[in-house]
Amino acid sequence: TDETAAVAEAAGARVIRQSNGGPASARNTGIRAATTEWVVLLDADDLARPSRLAQQAARLGNDQVAVVFGGYHVEGKVPPAAPTEITFDALWTRNWIPTSTVVLRRAAWEAVGGFDEARDLIGVEDYNLWLRLAHAGWGFNRVDEILVDYRPTPASLTAQTRRFAAAELANARKIALTLGLAPSALRAKEFAIYKEYGFELFHVRDLSASREFLHEAARRGPIGWGGQLRRLATYLPLPPRDRG
């Protein structure tokens, strides 16, 4: 643990303590305790830039806007920019919204039931909420600037990749069931997840898991030459990837 709580208390902030129930539980507890119309999200390993809130305040928009978000740096890189218009279909393709850049309307959070605290969604509980908000007709405004610097903590790439892959699949299936999406929409989403993580698992040399994921992707759609070659290569005694 770090000294975040002590620093916050020294500055006069109210700090709420609870047992570790995962990110969704912590966020729900904090938002319930808030009395403001909007709530700012920021994880402990991220650093907000000084102009963040001023830029977002200018983009709060009308009463149908639930989320104002922006760009972020991660290890010196800037991920792809989100579409100008965030719709459910755009979000179903991928999660465009970095949680630590979000300013969230409490009324919208409450209207859709808050963050889902299911343990199998840890790591994608934010994505789950954005999808439910978009499906319910809430709007999203984007700030075209870098608002946050993400500072990833050391972790096992293999374990992390497997965990996120499982959470992504659980989320897709839960959203499809809850919102009544067409089977074809779920199949397309599963295909994208299996293919993406099949490639990532190959990259970190988790070859058996990569083979399984690429097999499942191929059952749902064409994985291309790159996918087929990686799938075959999982049977080879490949050396570990150089992390340096």
pLDDT of 130: 99
Taking phi over 0 as left and psi of -120 to 50 as alpha, with beta for the rest, 224 belongs to left
Domain presence at residue 84:
yes
Q: Which amino acid is at 215?
A: H
Whether residues 224 and 194 fall in one domain? yes
Domain presence at residue 108:
yes
Query: In which band, very low, low, confident or very high, does the pLDDT at 54 lie, cut at 50, 70 and 90?
Result: very high
Whether residues 144 and 65 fall in one domain? yes
pLDDT of 157: 64
Domain presence at residue 125:
yes
SS3 string, the chain, reads CCCHHHHHHHCCCCCCCCCCCCHHHHHHHHHHHCCCCEEECCCCCEEECCCHHHHHHCCCCCCCEEEEEEEEEECCECCCCCCCCCCHHHHHHCCCCCHHHCEEEHHHHHHCCCCCCCHHHCCCHHHHHHHHHHHCCCEEEEEEEEEEEECCCCCCHHHHHHHHHHHHHHHHHHHHHHHCCCHHHHHHHHHHHHHHHHHHHHHCCCHHHHHHHHHHHHHHCCCHHHHHHHHHHCCCCCCCCCCC
Q: Answer whether residue 244 shows pLDDT above 70.
A: no
How many angstroms separate the CA atoms of 186 and 178, rounded?
12
Q: Answer whether residue 202 shows pLDDT above 90.
A: yes
Query: In which band, very low, low, confident or very high, does the pLDDT at 78 lie, cut at 50, 70 and 90?
Result: confident
Over residues 181-199, the pLDDT tens digits come to: 999 999 999 999 999 999 9
Query: In which band, very low, low, confident or very high, does the pLDDT at 45 lie, cut at 50, 70 and 90?
Result: confident
Whether residues 74 and 185 fall in one domain? no
Contact 67, 104 (CB under 8 A): yes
Q: Of 119, 150, 181, which residue sits at a domain end?
A: 150
Whether residues 118 and 63 fall in one domain? yes
Over residues 1-41, the pLDDT tens digits come to: 567 778 778 877 788 888 788 999 999 999 999 999 999 99
Whether residues 43 and 146 fall in one domain? yes
pLDDT (average), residues 69-91: 89
Query: In which band, very low, low, confident or very high, does the pLDDT at 55 lie, cut at 50, 70 and 90?
Result: very high
Percentage of the chain with pLDDT > 70?
A: 95
Query: In which band, very low, low, confident or very high, does the pLDDT at 156 lie, cut at 50, 70 and 90?
Result: low
pLDDT (average), residues 87-96: 97
pLDDT (average), residues 225-240: 95
Question: Which CATH number does the domain housing residue 22 bear?
Answer: 3.90.550.10
pLDDT of 155: 64
Q: Which domain holds residue 209?
A: 157-233
User: Average pLDDT of the chain?
Assistant: 93
Domain presence at residue 239:
no
Domain presence at residue 134:
yes
Q: Answer whether residue 173 shows pLDDT above 70.
A: yes
pLDDT of 19: 79
pLDDT of 5: 78
How many angstroms separate the CA atoms of 68 and 59, rounded?
7
When computed from its CA atoms, the radius of gyration of the chain, rounded to whole angstroms, is 19
Of 66, 75, 15, the residue nearest 47 (C-alpha): 75
How many angstroms separate the CA atoms of 123 and 222, rounded?
28
Q: Are strands 139-150 and 65-74 parallel, antiparallel or unpaired?
A: parallel
Domain presence at residue 244:
no
Q: Of 111, 135, 150, which residue sits at a domain end?
A: 150
Whether residues 101 and 181 fall in one domain? no
Q: Report residue 69: phi and psi, to 5°.
A: -135, 175
> What's the number of domains the chain is made of?
2
Q: Answer whether residue 79 shows pLDDT above 90.
A: no
Domain presence at residue 240:
no
Whether residues 26 and 108 fall in one domain? yes
Whether residues 140 and 191 fall in one domain? no
